[in-house]
Amino acid sequence: METGTVIEAPQLPSFYPPQRILLGPGPSNVLQRVLDAMARPTIGHLDPRFGEMMEQVKVLLRYAFQTENSLTFPISAPASVGMESCFVNLVEPGDKVIVCANGVFGRRMAENVKRCRGELVLVEDAWGKPVDPQKVEDACLAHPDARILAFVHAETSTGVQSDVKLLTEIAHRHEALVIVDAVTSLGSTPVLVDKWGIDAVYAGSQKGLSCTPGLSPISFGERAIEKLKSRKTPVSSWFMDLNLVLAYWNQGRRTYHHTAPVNALYALHESLLMLAEEGLEASWMRHRSNHLALLAGLQALGLELLVEEQSRLPQLNAVLVPAGVSETQVRDDMLNLHDVEIGAGLGDLAGKIFRVGLMGNGSSRTNVNTCLLALESVLAAQGWKISPGAAVAAAEQVWASTGRMAGEAG
């Protein structure tokens, strides 16, 4: 054995992360029950018992997506790969694709079309505004050969929600498939795949599902599967080719494709069980109640939201930075003095908004009050005029009128 050439081993301690309250655009805090599930013994990804759990994950995801689609399962990668999986499987070179961009993640969809060598038709709306259905109708009329319409349901960069049902109806009337980004909506607000007729949808494990980051639930309907099976060219990505992945996820004839993230899937299974135990409608109500309480508290602090009321997301609140206040100092003080993480603005909104997330288990009365008290403190330190205690009092009034039980997870 050759000696004397090995680089000396680094002497480093184990990593122990700080305890944070995650109230940004994701990830959300993971409850101990889910972390405990993740710590269970690792078994082989082809073990029949693991296969049984995989079948349960598919059933639970169908409930979360409100679909009967058989092709519903988690991609072994974060939501960005879920997005790319939809595009590389459904977009062939030369396909014309209409993409709606009203924030960062719509623009990422557009980039995917380009990389799949599709022909991009971009429909843009102002950041903070929902996708304009009339612009989509006009684009479909101007491009009758468009095969796909893609848009973001809940735009994480702005806190705005678009009308999936209406946009899908427009696309189908023009014989186009629909790809929907539900990364920030799944589990927190209604995502009704079958009722709305969504053809392909992707989400993430780390937001409304309150699971660890790194998995991307997807669901394909029959029209999308037909488009996949009728491709004239191979899917450009081996890992994301659903024709191959399905051979691993199909019950009864499961074959090796990749080493699945076994323990992360334990966690997803547990988080989906928790969602089913609470019930989707109860979760949606909880997110709505806590959003209204937070809004009342923010207004008591003299703060306002970017998005108009009818289009606001209850789980992602884009708060306008007031004049004379340092956005970076507020976020730094929230984190360093109060262990509360809130998000910065992205792209066109950098430095102009804070993003306050109330996602999944993070949507609670306790977190709303903690956030409001911390904001009160850090804004007062910058000279912002505050009426001490007014924000929490305003939030409490909302819960009193909407029902206290709606403010907490079951």
pLDDT of 406 higher than 70: no
pLDDT of 409 higher than 60: no
Per-residue burial over 49-70, b if 16 or more Cβ lie within 10 Å, else e, is ebeebbeebbebbbebbbbebb
Residue 122, SS3 per DSSP: strand
Q: Does the model's pTM come out above 0.75?
A: yes
Q: What is the pLDDT of residues 39-84, one digit of tens each?
A: 999 999 889 999 999 999 999 999 999 999 999 999 999 999 999 9
Same fold, 32-276 and 279-407: no
pLDDT bracket for residue 249 (50, 70, 90): confident
CATH architecture of 32-276: 3-Layer(aba) Sandwich (3.40)
Contact 116, 138 (CB under 8 A): no
Per-residue burial over 31-47, b if 16 or more Cβ lie within 10 Å, else e, is beebeebbeeeeeebee
- The domain defined by 279-407 carries CATH number 3.30.460.10: no
Q: Which amino acid is at 401?
A: S
Average pLDDT over residues 20-45: 96
Task: Say if residue 322 is preceded by a cis peptide, omega within 30 of 0.
Answer: no
Count Cβ atoms below 10 Å from residue 133 Cβ, excluding itself.
15
pLDDT of residue 275: 98
Gap between the Cα atoms of 32 and 30, Å rounded: 7
Whose CA is closest to 277, among 9, 34, 1, 7? Answer: 34
- Per-residue tokens: 154: 């809940």
Average pLDDT over residues 127-136: 98
pLDDT of residue 3: 64
Angle between helices 365-381 and 280-300 (to 10 degrees): 20
Place of tokens 């966690």: 267
Average pLDDT over residues 207-235: 96
Whose CA is closest to 151, among 184, 123, 190? Answer: 123
183, 184, 188, 193: CA torsion to nearest 10: -40
The residue ranges of every structural domain in the chain are 32-276, 279-407
Gap between the Cα atoms of 340 and 371, Å rounded: 7
Q: Across the chain, what does the average pLDDT equal?
A: 95
pLDDT of 121 higher than 60: yes
Q: Which amino acid is at 201?
A: V
Gap between the Cα atoms of 83 and 279, Å rounded: 26
Report the percent of the chain where pLDDT is more than 70: 96
Sign of CA dihedral 270, 271, 276, 282: positive
Whose CA is closest to 200, among 182, 173, 175? Answer: 182
Compute the residue count for the chain. Answer: 410
- 6 to each of 9, 11, 252, how far by Cα in Å? 9, 15, 47
Provide CB contacts within 8 A for 156, sequence distance 6+: 25, 26, 103, 104, 105, 183, 184, 316, 355
pLDDT bracket for residue 410 (50, 70, 90): very low
pLDDT of residue 7: 87
